[in-house]
Amino acid sequence: MLLKRLAGVLPPHLARYIPVLEEHNVKTTENLLFTSRQHLDVLLTTIPKAVLDELVMWVVRLTAPNALSGDEALDQLGTPDEDARWEGWGVNGLDSLFGWDGVGVMEISGARRVGKSLLALQAAMRIMVAHPQVTCQWVDTEGSFSPARARKVVEGLHVQDVDAVLCRLVIIPCFQVEPDLFDIVGTIKAGLEGAEPADGSGLRTAVLVIDPIVNLFRDTLTSTTAQGHAAMVTVMEEIAEMTYEHHLLTIIVNTSSSSLPGNPLSSFSATTTKPSLGAAFTYHADISLFVQETGRVFGMVDQTERERTRTEPGMRALVEVLKSRVSPAGRWAVFETKDGVGLLDVVPPETEDERTLRLSAGMPVGPVRPVHGPLAETVVP
């Protein structure tokens, strides 16, 4: 947490030293608490040692979690807010990957133009359509958010008043971690703590989307310094704490990086990429979804899918659960996009013979669909 966020609750004689700490690059509570005392004494010669001791004591008191027994924690948890309920994507294959209450941090990673932002947008819009008293805070880190696309997504959900839904979508530009992202998280948290629960009289934030997060750490995560890694862990811990405390759905869109000769977490040997930002980042997410083009996964055994990588890139994608605290890992599903705004299901054939099913239903009988073969022949989009 940034030290300047504690200025309002610290005693005045301690708060006035925060600018001095920031001048010496001691900007967060972690910097103050985990830097060796000998180094701080050498660095902060203008701050009396007794004052520094008192400041550390106050920071520990304000930031350390309180010890609770199990029954006390259960009483404080209460009933999760219905406004944060997970509404899914409206696609059977994707919705069957996991089941949860919609409270937690979801990571959606993958290469460019495979539908990551579309999945986040569809999930957020479905919650806002189902619950008129919630808002979505969309943190745009590359200025690529398209309002026209959001409108088409909402129109595809057959909503009568599209503008009433879009007016509850808040787009926040953000191009650096400090101070932009920390300020955004602090503002959202302050609004949640100061607002009354949504009971029909007001709006509350229920969804937070950061798209994509990798841009914020691209220049700071290097092999020569740990500063970028520390900032990433700090901000993700703040986001996770706010998510669980206020029953939010937080969607983090991430990119992919090379993982040769393969990704050990993937169920497919052809997967040679992994989520960016390293293994430490994935531990802050409750669900880690990895999105790939089907042509790059099934192309070696399916000529039709191999051609899709050149003729229709990103039109059909594979979603795989790499890590999850709420469901088994290794599950996967295939979906198609429609005009860049809709999602279509891609399902396997029935276990029973298709010809027999159609005859029993009195329907016309076409050519027999093979059980084994290219996806275009064995699945029904």
Mean pLDDT by 10 residues, the chain (381 residues): 83 88 86 85 84 87 74 60 72 88 92 92 94 94 93 93 94 90 92 63 86 86 74 90 92 92 88 87 90 83 69 76 89 89 77 69 71 65 48
On the question of a cis peptide bond just before residue 313, with omega within 30 degrees of 0, the verdict is no
Q: Where are the domains of the chain?
A: 3-63, 75-346, 348-381
Instruction: Give the pLDDT confidence score for residue 43 in this predicted structure.
Output: 82
Is beta strand 316-324 parallel, antiparallel or unpaired with respect to 332-338? Answer: antiparallel
Angle at 377 between CA 334 and CA 298, to 5 degrees: 45
Instruction: Give the pLDDT confidence score for residue 351 in this predicted structure.
Output: 57
Q: Which residues contact 291 (CB under 8 A, 6 or more apart)?
A: 108, 109, 110, 111, 114, 115, 116, 119, 317, 318, 319, 320
Enter the DSSP assignment of 239: H
pTM above 0.85, yes or no: no
Fold annotation for 75-346 = Rossmann fold (3.40.50)
Edge-to-edge order in the sheet of strand 134-140: 169-173, 134-140, 204-211, 249-254, 104-110, 287-293, 316-324, 332-338, 342-346
